[in-house]
Every structure is written in structure tokens, then in C-alpha cells.
Amino acid sequence: MKKNKKIRFCLSCVPTLLILAFSFMGITRPNYSNLNITSKTQPFERITKSVELIQETKIRKTVHIDSIDLQLATYTRKNTNRNKFVFLLNSKPVLTKTVDSSTVKDNAFYRFKDIDLDVQKGDTLEIQWTSNDGSSNNAITAWVKTDITNSKLYQHNLTNGETKRVPGELSMSLNMKEGALHYLSEKYAIISPAVLYILFGLIIIAVTFLMYLLLSQPEEEPQNYNRQPFKKNNKKKGKKK
């Protein structure tokens, strides 16, 4: 009996644990993104040992950045060169990432994870992209949205030192990760996060209780059959005369 109760209680907790896992699961959402903005697009110059990409983006609000998505292009070929991305905040290097071109998919978004960067309104986030072994036939590039002016994009010639302004902004997204409940509260702005967490706790209690009731089926009492033992008739029949 006690063992069955423990099993029923454990089973009733399963949906509760799933709901809790969802609530604390991190959801990645953009703090700034130009992905949904209609604009003409064109590829930047190939990033080779003589070409450097530099972009300066002005931060418009105080946020936390967990990852950055950039739309890259491979020219529909398999490249093997290595790329160095340096991220700077207010001209100070804060992070360096190395990307092997063989891991990049054509026209897809490459996500730079584990950025973990707090930025304030008015800060300048800079991206410097170089490749020491890139060549015209072995290099990748990035897509540029030419009608967007939120950033300053430059092409720097490492051979002669010349720098020219390129119109537009990299096709990109600056992302942060947050809990699912907090995300839903901010997205739909119906109730505050605190009230949402209280309601969510009540829902968990109700679901657990209902599942326990549904699983608590009455056990059948063992039937007691009072069967009489079979008695053999040992009387000998008399012989007929």
C-alpha cells in the first residue's frame, strides 16, 4: 500500500517538474536586431589577409548581451581559412573569437556564444574581423543591409593602410538570454513578473494535486473464497445380490 502511494506521488510530480523546467529554461531574444527590417543587401568584400572589416555600433539602451548573430556568406564553396573576431567596448578589447571557415554555412547566421557583456546606453560596440590566411579563393564574408545607418561600417586595407566607409550595417542581432516566464511577461506586458510567478506557483500546486487524485484509484480488496475442502466418499458400496 505505501509503495503504491509513493509511485502515485512520483508520477503526479512528473508534469510539475516539466513545467518548472520550462519556466527556468533560458530563451534567447534580441536586444537589437535588423533582421526584420526591409533593406537592400549586398556582400561585404572578402575578408583576406589584406582586407579587414570594422563596424562601430552605438548602443541605444542599457542591456546585457549573451550572444551575437552575424549573417555570413561562403560563396557556395568550402573554405578552410581561419577568421579572428575581436569585440571591443568603447575601444577596449573585451573578447576574441576564432572561427574556422569550414564550420560556416552559406547565407546562414553564425552565433557567437558566451559573450556575457553588459553595455550601457551610449556605449560603442566595435567588431574587428581579420584573417591572416584568407585569400580571394579561400575566404568568407558578411551580408550588409545597405539602407540601415545605425552603425558605421568600414573596409580597412591592411596593405596600404587606407580605410573607406561602406554604406549600411552588418545583418546582425544582439541577443540576451532570460527565463521563459520573465520573457512572456515582458513580451505581452499583461501582468508583472512577480504576479506571474505567484500564479505559476498556484498552477503547479493545482496540477500536482489533480494528478495525485487521478492516480489515486481505490485498490480492490482481495476476495476471500471460503471454499470447502472436497471430501472423498470412502463408503464402499454393497454388492447387489
Please indicate, yes or no, if residue 45 is contained in any of the structural domains: yes
3-state secondary structure of 94: strand
Distances (CA, A) of 211 to 10, 16, 170, 220: 10, 9, 51, 20
Whether residues 18 and 68 share a domain: the answer is: no
Whether residues 6 and 95 share a domain: the answer is: no
- Most confident option among 5-14, 59-68, 74-83, 177-186: 74-83
Number of other CB atoms surrounding residue 59 within 10 Å = 19
Overall domain count for the chain: 2
Per-residue pLDDT of 118-147, as tens digits, reads 999 999 999 999 999 999 999 999 999 999
Alpha helix positions (H), 170-227:
180-188, 193-215
Which three cell numbers mark 174? 544582439
Please indicate, yes or no, if residue 228 is contained in any of the structural domains: no
Query: Given this model, what pLDDT does residue 111 score?
Result: 95
Range in 15-29, 34-48, 53-67 with the lowest mean pLDDT: 15-29
Query: Given this model, what pLDDT does residue 177 score?
Result: 75
CATH number at residue 104: 2.60.120
Q: For residue 241, name the pLDDT band (cuts at 50, 70, 90).
A: very low
Per-residue pLDDT of 194-227, as tens digits, reads 665 566 667 766 766 666 666 565 555 555 555 5
User: What order of strands is seen across the sheet that includes strand 92-100?
Assistant: 92-100, 82-89, 124-130, 51-58, 151-157, 163-166
- CA triple 154-158-160, angle to 5 deg: 105
Please indicate, yes or no, if residue 241 is contained in any of the structural domains: no
Range of the domain at 18: 2-24+188-215
Per-residue pLDDT of 60-119, as tens digits, reads 999 889 999 999 999 999 999 999 999 999 999 999 999 999 999 999 999 999 898 999
Please indicate, yes or no, if residue 14 is contained in any of the structural domains: yes
Query: Given this model, what pLDDT does residue 38 score?
Result: 87
Question: Is residue 158 pLDDT above 50, yes or no?
Answer: yes
Whether residues 8 and 104 share a domain: the answer is: no
Whether residues 85 and 18 share a domain: the answer is: no
Please indicate, yes or no, if residue 237 is contained in any of the structural domains: no
Whether residues 58 and 103 share a domain: the answer is: yes
